[in-house]
Amino acid sequence: MSCRLGISKQVEGRYQVSSYGFRSGYVALVGRPNVGKSTLLNQLIDFQLSIVTDKPQTTRHEVLGVAHGAGYQIGFLDTPGLIRGRSNRLDRNMRAAVYRSLDRSDIHILVVEPKMPGAIERTLIEEICKTDSPALLVINKVDSVKKGRLLPVIDQYSRLHDFSELLPISAMNNDGVSLLVSLIVQHLPEGSKIMEEDEFTDRSERFLVAEIIRKNIYERYREELPYSAAVSIEEFDDTKLSAGGPVYISAVIYVERIGQKGILVGKKGTSIREVAIEARVAIEELLGHHIYLDIWVRERSDWKDDVDFLEETNYPSIG
């Protein structure tokens, strides 16, 4: 099933555009891990599409979220945080997803924290400079610092690149997000609709369900276990809906080591049952139906380097 849930994200009278014609385009959200790209995407489309946790590198996929407005559509591409140094195939695929998003987007948004630019930011700016697309700098989490500390940061970034727009925001508090949308609309090219008005992503419900389960793993477990886990939806059966029955979902959580399986399951299965209970509530809210959720845990030591597994579980490919 595709995620066509009949939810319209258009807000009447919001962000009016001029009479030049309908505008549409893709906007890449790029940056290092944990700068708030996914939080920003969710605010921009007014829907909890990308999972958000307090752990870095939560986002593993490119996620498309479409914002609808009067006379425009914006296809936001939430991307994995750019990392350096690690070399398994999953990490390489996630890096490739960042660069691919920059290649196919009409506008680039570099999301940073109110800190001086580091090697990751300089690398992304180098990639942005290779294109002719407008680039906006968004300094997120400005509520965490005094205004006086922003000026040197702004000055340093201005020296690195001639950004079309530079905007301090707080995505968590939804401060500055409306202004950001209006600035993006000014730089959008004319074009046709990306999606119908009641659609907001091209990701399937199976994908979103897997992400909800993964979010619960990130929030419940510490250290390396969340980064060693992948979620696969083995079965998604909605054939009983017409008779008033639940959607049956069978999910498998793969971990890299047998010891992690024991931690994830917990004593007599208590930990994994708690994950399932919390996930079920969020999944039912997403789907609007009662569900029956089975979760299994299996060891698969090589999943991060297994090409077929990564493709089957919707992880980005290098090609």
What are 73-101's pLDDT values in tens digits?
999 999 999 988 767 999 999 999 999 99
Domain boundaries, the chain: 23-187, 205-312
Please give the average per-residue pLDDT across 225-230, as a whole number: 94
Whether pLDDT at 274 is above 90: yes
Asked whether the beta carbons of 140 and 36 are under 8 A apart, the reply is yes
Which is more confident, 23 or 148? 23
What angle do the packed helices 89-104 and 119-129 form, to 10 degrees?
A: 40
234 burial type by CB count under 10 A (0-12 exposed, 13-18 middle, 19+ buried): exposed
- What is the rounded average pLDDT of the residues 89-118? 95
Q: Is the pLDDT score of 184 beyond 50?
A: yes
SS3 65: strand
Q: Which CATH superfamily is domain 23-187 in?
A: P-loop containing nucleotide triphosphate hydrolases (3.40.50.300)
What's the token pair of residue 266? 């917990």
Q: Provide the CATH topology of domain 205-312.
A: GMP Synthetase; Chain A, domain 3 (3.30.300)
- For the chain, the straight-line distance linking the first and the last C-alpha, in angstroms and rounded, comes to 25
Instruction: Find where tokens 């009016």 sit.
Output: 16
Determine the pLDDT at residue 15: 42
How much is the mean pLDDT over the chain? 91
**Measured between alpha carbons, how far is 117 from 119 in angstroms, rounded to an integer?**
7
What pLDDT does residue 20 have? Answer: 54
Q: Is this structure's pTM higher than 0.75? A: yes
SS (H, E, C) 223-282: CCHHHHCEEEEEEEECCCHHHCCCEEEEEEEEECCHHHHHHHHCHHHHHHHHHHHHHHHH
* Burial profile 109-124: b = 16 or more Cβ within 10 angstroms, e = fewer: bbbbbbeebeebbeeb
